[in-house]
């Protein structure tokens, strides 16, 4: 990486709208992670089954698989600020619904799955709009720093939110996590309302299908982008779904309950935050091939070690290191694609990135849940880690031989 000096390390913060965006994100995402942890523990408490953890996670990700590519077209056609205001306002509803149902003691796993599906449909539009909105707040010159700082906030929230969730579940009860999350969206709505950037990119439409195919043709014409996205798809299919099985590790492997769950997810957030801040401080990554290859291998090996260890303290270390690898790879891939894509295609190309990052997850969550039920949770995570390692090794061998290809 190239080290930057002084204020240049956080150059994106010079933009007022981006500062507002980060403040709102910090509060809102902390609430989102609280809900994620509480929802996982709620499903596990109701079912004691890794299969249903996978089903609920798949329900939340299925709309992303179906709708995200359309979300990219929407992002290129309408003012992004207005779209984000709408998606954030709608996101309050699922949190309130979970809070009310849990307070009344009538929640079933199918209620949770239906609510997760509704929230996933909102996220299918929100994610590509949010990704493509970053460069409009800061410009091309500061986009790498903006992505790193945004990732730092996202993953810093993974530390704050889960730890608060674990304590809240133990002392305030499960519904508190959902109600706090509903309130947290007010912060990001207020931040968006104060921004000057509208995020409008008027484009001439040739029809939905032709608009979409323009983005696909661009990706196919850039082999290195295609390979980077393909490895993300593998991680999303058999690697990243391990996150949804963490409640099983907390409840059955380590016997630590909701507090242990909060610390495991928090450790994952700590590793991810370290990765994001490292990229933000160091600046642009000149040898992306070597960096991304090392990060991919790190994630894969850590996943294997996490599945094998029976020591809680060691699991915390391993999961932190693995998250560092995963976020380092994703952040580098994101910044590379953002800089490489033309402005008029950004929403569509980032929707493909979001699709393989999140849209493949329904299949992965379901597959991991079924596999965990059949052969055991630890064995399922181990199998996913081995597959990730094989593909990461292939990626590394291909691009380390030609380090300038990325």
**What secondary structure does DSSP assign to 335-385, as a single string?**
HHHHHHS-GGGHHHHHHHHHIIIIITHHHHHHHHHHHHHHH-HHHHHHHHH
Is 172:90 a contact under the CB 8 Å cutoff? no
Instruction: Assign 204 to helix, strand or coil.
Output: coil
CA nearest neighbour of 207 among 73, 79, 80: 73
Instruction: Give the domains, in start order, of the chain with CATH numbers.
Output: 11-400 (1.20.1250.20)
Task: Kindly tell me if the per-residue pLDDT of 222 is higher than 80.
Answer: no
Task: Kindly tell me if the per-residue pLDDT of 17 is higher than 50.
Answer: yes
At 2 the pLDDT is 46
Is 61:78 a contact under the CB 8 Å cutoff? no
Is 252:377 a contact under the CB 8 Å cutoff? yes
| Segment 130-184, tens digit of pLDDT | 878 887 888 777 777 888 788 788 777 777 787 788 788 878 888 999 999 999 9
Sign of CA dihedral 358, 360, 363, 365: negative
At 154 the pLDDT is 79
CA nearest neighbour of 93 among 2, 229, 185, 202: 185
Confidence grade of residue 285 (pLDDT, cut at 50, 70, 90): low
CA nearest neighbour of 50 among 265, 369, 368: 369
Sign of CA dihedral 257, 259, 264, 268: positive
At 386 the pLDDT is 95
At 89 the pLDDT is 94
Task: Kindly tell me if the per-residue pLDDT of 394 is higher than 80.
Answer: yes
DSSP state of 402: S
- Greater confidence, 257 or 60? 60
The pTM is what? 0.71
| Segment 316-335, tens digit of pLDDT | 999 999 999 998 888 888 77
Is 44:247 a contact under the CB 8 Å cutoff? yes
| Segment 230-246, tens digit of pLDDT | 898 899 888 988 887 88
Confidence grade of residue 227 (pLDDT, cut at 50, 70, 90): confident
């Amino acid at each position: 990486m190239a080290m930057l000096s002084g204020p240049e390390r956080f150059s994106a913060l010079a933009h007022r709208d981006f500062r507002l965006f980060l403040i709102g994100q910090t509060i809102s995402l902390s609430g989102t992670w609280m809900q994620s942890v509480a929802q996982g523990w709620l499903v596990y408490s109701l079912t004691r089954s890794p299969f249903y953890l996978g089903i609920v996670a798949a329900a939340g990700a299925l709309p992303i698989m179906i709708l995200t590519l359309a979300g990219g077209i929407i992002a290129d056609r309408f003012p992004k600020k207005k779209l984000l205001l709408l998606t954030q306002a709608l996101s309050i509803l699922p949190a309130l619904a979970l809070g009310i149902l849990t307070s009344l003691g009538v929640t079933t796993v199918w209620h949770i799955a239906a609510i997760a599906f509704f929230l996933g449909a909102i996220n299918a539009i929100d994610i590509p709009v949010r990704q493509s909105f970053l460069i409009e707040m800061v410009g091309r010159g500061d986009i790498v720093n903006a992505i790193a700082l945004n990732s730092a906030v996202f993953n810093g929230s993974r530390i704050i939110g889960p730890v608060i969730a674990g304590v809240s579940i133990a002392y305030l009860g499960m519904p508190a996590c959902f109600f706090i999350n509903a309130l947290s969206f007010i912060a990001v709505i207020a931040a968006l309302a104060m921004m000057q950037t509208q995020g409008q990119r008027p484009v001439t439409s040739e029809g939905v299908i032709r608009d979409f195919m323009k983005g696909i043709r661009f990706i196919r014409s850039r082999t290195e982008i295609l390979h980077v996205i393909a490895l993300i798809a593998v991680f999303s299919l058999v690697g990243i779904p391990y996150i949804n099985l963490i409640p099983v590790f907390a409840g059955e492997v380590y016997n630590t309950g909701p507090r242990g769950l909060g610390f495991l997810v928090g450790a994952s957030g700590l590793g991810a935050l370290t990765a994001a801040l490292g990229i933000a401080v160091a600046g642009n990554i000149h040898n992306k091939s070597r960096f991304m290859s090392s990060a991919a291998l790190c994630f894969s090996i850590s996943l294997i070690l996490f599945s094998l260890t029976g020591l809680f303290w060691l699991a915390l270390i391993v999961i932190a290191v693995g998250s560092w690898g995963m976020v380092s790879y994703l952040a580098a891939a994101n910044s590379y694609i953002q800089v490489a894509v033309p402005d008029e295609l950004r929403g569509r190309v980032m929707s493909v990135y979001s699709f393989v990052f999140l849209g493949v997850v329904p299949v992965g969550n379901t597959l991991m849940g079924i596999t965990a039920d059949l052969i055991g949770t630890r064995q399922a995570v181990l199998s996913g880690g081995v597959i990730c390692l094989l593909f990461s090794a292939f990626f590394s061998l291909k691009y380390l031989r030609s380090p300038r290809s990325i």
